[in-house]
Structure 1
Amino acid sequence: MTPKLRNLRSALSRVSGLAVAAALTVALAACSEPATPDESTDATTDAAASTSLTVYTSEPQAKIDELVAAFNEQNPDIDVEVFRAGTGDLTARIEAERTTGAIAADVLLAADAPTFESYKSDGLLQQYTPTGADALDPDVVDPEGFYVGTRIIPTVIAYNTGAVDAPPMSWQDLTDPQYLGRITMPNPDVSGAAAYNAAVWLNTPELGEAWLEGLAANEPVIAESNGPVGQAVAAGTQPVGIVVDYLVRELAAKGSPIALSYPTDGVPYVSQPAGIFADSDSTEAAQKFVDFLVSREGQELAVEQSYLPVRDDVGTPDGAPAMSELALLTPDLQVITDSQDEAVVTFNELVG
């Protein structure tokens, strides 16, 4: 090969190599260029927009699941995490978290107002009055704005319709010797509603300790909570029970031989309050959740779930009386709060 041809081949080789290198540089640059705003990932956007909300509740699991689903229809950007337990277990968990650091929940939705009164006194709750609070029963709204009731849950007398011909219509009726060994009721050490009821009964002049002694003389069977009480009455293993009313309606709707009486000498009730913890780092989401609970839509769902509502524009469950027909007991809440622990001790001494 002549020198001239060798020089030409060498030149062509150098040009080809440079072209390949240039092409690679362009390709690599294209791969490393930042994405334009239109190409940013949806996952990153969704993560930034989503808010996490943690709710501690004593609501039955199926009911809280329905409630969260309805809330998310209006607030799809809020990821609600639920921890569900009995009121006693919830308060124990909150106390443990409180003593070791911050409370992990944003919202508490549980049975009784005295628990919320204690948390308010200890500075564990933040003030928030929900939107539309003027439409609510004033008896369930904390005047200082630290919590609000979300449903009326009366305690009633349930009876098995196949085993009881003339049902008891009052608390006093339950002291009749004919009910010896035939009554069941929930444990106030477990059930927040039962603990509250003990304090209400003992602080109601027409009932008091004399009535509780008469009830104890009939040796009622103490069940773990309201659920087993309702089941025992429905099955007829205990013909009469002291239990929250919505459970009776639900069992009757499924065909169980069970009915209820709203006691003529006064109906104690809990209001399943909701409050926002002072430690919450999702306050805006928590406020939206509380707003939904007492909104017209939230209360319509409560009625569908067999609860009595805290507002008067949504009706009541099928088979339930109008709110105006009930002789609800609404004692001084401070008295109940101050006496509840002692009332549970008295109950256990006499009945347990």
Structure 2
Amino acid sequence: KPELKNMTTLPSPLYSGAAQIHMATLMNDPQLGFAWYEKLKANGAMPQSGNGAVMNAITSGSKGYGVLVDYMAIREKAKGAPIEFVFPKEGVSIVTEPVAMLKKAKNPDGAKAFIDFVLSDAGQRLVLKQGYLPADANLPAPEGFPARESIKLMPYDPAKALADTDANKKRFADLFGNR
């Protein structure tokens, strides 16, 4: 919208893994694709390095709107920030908080114990308490989130995203510069 000119910010996929995943998701959506980024640029959107910088721009009032991971905005609102988070009707990209063990881990037993804890009921309840959406669908969504079943997930192909990473980053840099 013209009245939002120069008021929007977004994280850069050149710095943020979540922004890379989001870009890969949008690039595979024929209704959005790279045109979504071109429209943002045409309306003066200014990338920040990552989601933290986007959150700071929004909470400081230097930008009125931002593309941001859900839990950050929802946490800040709970702390009293005058912001709202909107889950887009088109859906959201799937950005997970993975846990894994390296093949050459120096302490594989410790790593396995940690993974087992994170995936346990107690670990998933801690994830929920920290404001993240737990992997365990039997647990509720965190405070401030809509019901889990109302969140529409956009299709995501991790193998294609990985294969397209360099090309997507180049397109972004060509459009916005190395921000």
Q: Which of 130, 136, 141 is the equivalent residue of 1:305? A: 130
Cα deviations by residue, 1:318-341 (Å, 9 ceiling, x for unpaired)? 121121101111322211111122
Is the Cα–Cα contact under 8 Å of residues 198 and 347 in structure 1 kept in the other structure?
Answer: no
Deviation at 1:258, TM superposition (A): 0.6
Name stretches of at least 5 consecutive residues in structure 2 with no aligned partner.
Answer: none
Q: Provide the C-alpha distance between the structure 2 equivalents of 1:209 and 1:248, rounded to a whole number of angstroms.
A: 25
Greater per-residue strand proportion: 1
- Aligned residue in 2 for 1:342: 167
Q: Provide the C-alpha distance between the structure 2 equivalents of 1:271 and 1:191, rounded to a whole number of angstroms.
A: 13
Larger radius of gyration: 1
- Aligned residue in 2 for 1:197: 22
What TM-score do the two structures reach when normalised by structure 2?
0.93
What TM-score do the two structures reach when normalised by structure 1?
0.48
Is the Cα–Cα contact under 8 Å of residues 94 and 156 in structure 2 kept in the other structure?
Answer: no
Using the aligned pairs only, state the percent identity. 34
Deviation at 1:259, TM superposition (A): 0.7
Equivalent positions of 1:243-322 (< 5 A) are 243-322=68-147
Query: Which runs of structure 1 show a deviation greater than 3 angstroms over 4 or more consecutive aligned residues?
Result: none
Letter in 2 for 1:228: A
Deviation at 1:350, TM superposition (A): 1.6
Equivalent positions of 1:183-262 (< 5 A) are 183-262=8-87
Q: Provide the C-alpha distance between the structure 1 equivalents of 2:145 and 2:7, rounded to a whole number of angstroms.
A: 25
SS in 1 for 2:67: strand
Deviation at 1:215, TM superposition (A): 1.4
Deviation at 1:269, TM superposition (A): 2.3
Q: Which has the higher contact order (CA 8 A, sep 6+)?
A: 2
Q: Provide the C-alpha distance between the structure 2 equivalents of 1:260 and 1:242, rounded to a whole number of angstroms.
A: 9
- Aligned residue in 1 for 2:151: 326
Deviation at 1:233, TM superposition (A): 1.0
Q: Provide the C-alpha distance between the structure 1 equivalents of 2:148 and 2:166, rounded to a whole number of angstroms.
A: 29
Aligned pairs, how many?
Answer: 177
Q: Provide the C-alpha distance between the structure 1 equivalents of 2:9 and 2:69, rounded to a whole number of angstroms.
A: 12
Cα deviations by residue, 1:248-291 (Å, 9 ceiling, x for unpaired)? 11111111101110011120121121221111131111111111
Is the Cα–Cα contact under 8 Å of residues 198 and 340 in structure 1 kept in the other structure?
Answer: no
Letter in 2 for 1:204: D
SS in 2 for 1:229: helix
